[in-house]
Structure 1
């Protein structure tokens, strides 16, 4: 993620959760990936008593993190913007177990926030595979999530390679971002928030091919939902104008 984008997210962290579009996009993302989480959890429970180990890359303030947490053993939430991580840490400090719309209860005790731009599967900031050897190999994950991150990443091939290296054999990624559906896709961001945007959405067929080239198996890239978002700040648009943005769910597995 470019430094300009990082600065923007640091500046906006305190008010990030107040954006209705951010909240709605996160809820819809969770609704789309929840069946994936549940299927993987059931599969793992059939062979082991342990729950899922999840990595979320680009977790922001933890809106998706805290929805996923009750469904998994542990979720490592990583983001390069210190302001975003500090906001997540504050949520964890003040959260209590309670009934939530996302699941039976909030589980902040199993969230591990980390501030880092992840580009190495063996980065020492990641949890160790064996706690008795803290400087040894890093843990590998059953599932990796990333929501509205890929359009900020300069080198998606390298990014996907890092994610593949962070997966356990047979582990999966479920990556969500808006689709590049043509020239109108640029309007996803207001004109004054284009710094740090590397691409205006993800081309579906291109993404599918790229994931396969990087080494993912069982690749599936499909539209998971559509979000109506305000575009009134763009030239030629009227107050109250919205545009429907399709969101892709990009799935793939590390070979066993």
Structure 2
């Protein structure tokens, strides 16, 4: 993720959860991931890595379904907002650990601490890697997918949600003044399928997960959000092969 992205998300962290579209997209992503996971008797043992966790809008709901969540974001402001939630006396979540790091290697010390026990495991690997609305900000998708692959246990899964590149109108997902740091206007299915396979994932699927109605600019750069456009979202799935 570029410095432009980090600066933007730091500045928006305090107001991030006040956007109903952001909340709805995160809820739908959570539901899409849960629908594709095994039953609770298995997922309750899962250690999850949420890459690009933001304020925890996916991490916190996931926490009730799994053993632990390690929530990672390069934007310090986003992680601070999540840590404020976790430290609130009314928060009953105790199995989430949030860290600020630009994760580029699966053995990064920042993700080695178990959120439940507080002990360090080297190397620490995960049953599931998730991300939501992160991929379109990543300059080198193959590099981040390779890191995700390395973070998984043999037999682990990646489930990544983002909006789809469905043509020229996909550009409207971001208003013009927020284009800096946007590396692509959505995910192209065939391209993403090939990238997942290239880094070693098996049983690869990139399929429609849900649709989201979002206010867009009436004219590019106008700043007036009056029109509504329906954006398709995909979930990108891959399985790390079992060790032979």
TM-score with structure 2 setting the length: 0.92
The structure 2 residue matched to 1:199, chosen from 175, 178, 184, is: 184
Q: 1:144 aligns with which of 122, 129, 135?
A: 129
Aligned 1:81-160 pairs, distance under 5 A: 81-96=75-90, 107-127=92-112, 134=120, 137-160=122-145
Partner SS state of residue 98, structure 2? strand
**2:195 maps to which of 197, 210, 213:** 210
Deviation sequence 1:134-166 (CA, Å, 0-9, x none) = 4x6221100010000000000000000000000
Question: Secondary structure, in 3 states, of the residue corresponding to 1:227?
Answer: strand
Q: Match of 2:234?
A: 248
2:134–2:162 CA contact under 8 A, matched in 1 = yes
Deviates more, 1:61-70 or 1:237-246: 237-246
Q: Are residue 42 (structure 1) and residue 28 (structure 2) matched?
A: no
Kindly tell me the number of residue pairs found equivalent between the two proteins: 239
Structure 2 distance, partners of 1:82, 1:234, is 33
**8 Å Cα contact 1:191-1:233 kept in structure 2:** no
CA distance in 2, matches of 1:239, 1:114: 34
Other structure's SS at 1:199 match: coil
- Equivalent-residue separation in structure 2 for 1:73 and 1:61 (angstroms): 20
Q: Secondary structure at the match of 1:13?
A: helix
SS of the residue corresponding to residue 109 of structure 1 reads coil
- Residues 1:72 and 2:63 are matched in the alignment: no
Deviation sequence 1:51-81 (CA, Å, 0-9, x none): 1100000000001111111111100000000
Could you tell me how far apart the structure 2 residues matched to 1:239 and 1:67 are? 29
- Is this contact kept in 1: 2:218–2:226, CA < 8 A? no
Kept after mapping to 2: 8 A contact 1:69/1:75: yes
Give the C-alpha shift of residue 233 in structure 1: 4.6
Do 1:219 and 1:250's aligned partners in 2 also have CA atoms closer than 8 Å? Answer: yes
Moved over 2 A (4+): 40-44, 131-134, 232-240
User: 1:22, CA displacement in angstroms?
Assistant: 0.3
Hey, what's the Cα distance between the residues in 1 that align with 2:13 and 2:48?
Answer: 23
